[in-house]
Structure 1
Amino acid sequence: MTQTQHPLSDNQVIEQHTDSESKRASSISQKCFRTIETTYSNNIDSDYTEKIAALSRNFRYADNQEHFWTLPAQSLLYGTPLYAEASRTQKLVLNHLGWAASYIKTANTECTALDYNPVTADVLELMGGYDTLAKEIQMETEQEVVHIRAFRKIGLTTMVSLIDRSSLDELAKWRPQRTLATTFQLNMAKKLAIKLTDRNQASHYAEKIKKKQRNSRVFKSPMGGLLENAMGSFTPLHSLYGFGCGSGSLFMACQFYTLRMMANLKLKDIEHPIAKYAKQLENNHKFVPAPTAISRYHFLDEAFHTTISKLLGKDLYQEFEGPNLYENLIANFVIYMMQRSSFGSVSAVIPDSSSRDGLDNFALVYYLLRSPIFEFSHLNAKQWMRRCFCEEHDGFHQSVKNRTRLLKSLKIFSSEVSYLWPINRDMTVMGKLGSINTALKQNIRTFDRFFKELEQFKQSQ
Structure 2
Amino acid sequence: MCTMTAVINSLSQPNVTSTSLLAKDSKTRKKLELNYRRAKQTDHSPNLDQLAEQFDYQQCRDQYWQAPEFSLLHGTPLWEQSSPGQKLILNHLYWVAYYSQIIAAEVATIFFNQTSATGLYPLTDFRLVCDTLDLETSQERCHINAFQTVIDQVESTLFGGNLFGQPRRSPFRETMIFANTNWFKNWWKGIQLQSFGLLSANNAFLASQYLTVRGLRTLNGKLVQHKLSNFYQPQEPEHNTIPTQISYYHFLDESFHFNTSTILSHDVGSLFPSPTVFERQLVNLGIRGCQRDHYHVSVAINGIFWYDPALYDTITKLLTSPLFGLSAQECEAMLWACFAQETEALHRSFQTHQEAWLSYQAYLDPLPFVDRTNKSMALMKGNSMERYLRLQGRALQRFLQTAPSVHYLTEK
TM range (shorter): 0.7 to 0.9
Tell me if structure 1 keeps the 8 A contact 2:297–2:307: yes
Contact 2:361-2:375 at 8 Å conserved across structures: yes
User: What SS class does the counterpart of residue 66 from structure 2 fall into?
Assistant: coil
Residue of 265, 278, 298 corresponding to 1:347: 298
Question: Once the two structures are superposed, what CA deviation does each residue of 1:229-260 show, in whole Å capped at 9, x if it has no partner?
Answer: 5994433322232234x782111101111011
Compared CA separation, residues 303 and 224, structure 1 to 2 (3 A): farther
- Selected match of 2:329 from 379, 389, 398: 379
Partner of 1:363: 313
Larger Rg belongs to: 1
Give, as a single letter, the amino acid of the residue that structure 2 aligns with 1:421: D
2:55 is paired with a residue whose SS is coil
Note if contact 1:69-1:291 (Cα within 8 Å) is conserved in structure 2: yes
Matches of 2:43 and 2:112, distance apart in 1: 24
How far did residue 128 of structure 1 move? 2.5
CA 1:139 to 1:247, structure 2 compared with 1: closer, same or farther past 3 Å? Answer: closer
Provide the rounded CA distance (Å) in 2 between the counterparts of 1:228 and 1:100.
14
Scaled by the length of structure 1, what TM-score is found? Answer: 0.77
Question: After the TM superposition, which residues 91-240 of structure 1 pair with which residues of structure 2 at under 5 Å, given as runs?
Answer: 91-165=87-161, 168=162, 222-226=172-176, 232-233=185-186, 234-235=188-189, 236-240=191-195
Shift, 1:289, TM fit: 0.9
2:196 matched to which residue of 1? 241
Give how far 1:328 is off.
1.4
Say if 2:232 and 2:248, in contact at 8 Å, map to a contact too. Answer: yes
Aligned AA (1:298):
H
Which amino acid in structure 2 is aligned with residue 397 of structure 1? H
- Counterpart-to-counterpart distance in 2, 1:286 and 1:45: 24
Distance verdict in 2 for CA 1:301–1:404, change over 3 Å: same
For residues 292-349 of structure 1, the C-alpha deviation after alignment (integer angstroms, 9 at most, x for no partner) is 111110010111111100011222111123322222112112212321x322122121
2:116, 2:208 within 8 Å by CA — same for their partners in 1?
yes
Q: Is 1:256 equivalent to 2:210 in the alignment?
A: yes
Identify the match of residue 324 of structure 1 among 276, 282, 289. 276
1:302 partner amino acid: E
TM-score, normalised relative to structure 2: 0.86
Q: CA RMSD in A?
A: 2.7
Matched residue pairs, number? 384
Report the alpha carbon displacement of residue 222 of structure 1 after superposing the two structures with TM.
2.4
Unaligned runs of at least 5 residues, structure 2: 1-20
Pick from 421, 428, 434: which aligns with 2:378? 428
Structure 1 residue 288 and structure 2 residue 240: aligned? yes
The aligned residue for residue 442 of structure 1 is 391
Taking a change above 3 Å as real, the CA distance of residues 273 and 116 of structure 1, as seen in their structure-2 partners, is same
Q: Quick one: distance in 1 between partners of 2:333 and 2:210?
A: 43
| Aligned counterparts of 1:290 and 1:325: Cα–Cα separation in 2 | 49
Deviation of residue 88 (structure 1)? 0.8
Is the 2:293–2:305 Cα contact (8 Å) retained in structure 1? Answer: yes
> Is 1:338 aligned to residue 293 of structure 2?
no
CA shift for structure 1 position 421:
0.2
Cα separation, 2, equivalents of 1:437 and 1:351? 18
Deviation per residue, 1:72-120 (Å, 9 max, x gap): 1111010101111111111110011011111100110111111111111
Q: Which letter maps to 2:276?
A: N
CA distance, structure 1, for counterparts of residue 405 and residue 242 of structure 2: 40
Note if 1:392 corresponds to 2:349. no
Residue of structure 2 aligned with 1:272, choices 200, 217, 226: 226
Classify 1:262/1:247 alpha carbon distance in 2 versus 1 (closer, same or farther; 3 Å). closer
CA distance in 2, matches of 1:300, 1:177: 24
Distance in 2 separating the partners of 1:329 and 1:95? 42
Q: How many Å apart are 1:163 and its aligned residue?
A: 2.1
Quick check: 228-237 or 342-351, which moved more? 228-237
- Match 2:357 to one of 407, 422, 436: 407
Work out whether residues 230 and 338 of structure 1, in 8 Å CA contact, stay in contact via their aligned partners in 2: no
What SS does structure 1 have at the residue aligned with 2:308?
A: coil
- Work out which of the residue numbers 83, 101, 114 in structure 2 matches 1:87: 83
Which letter does structure 2 place at the counterpart of 1:370? T
From 396, 399, 403, the equivalent of 1:454 is 403
Unaligned runs of 5+ in 1: 1-24, 179-219
Aligned amino acid, residue 287 of structure 2: I
Amino acid at match of 1:328: R
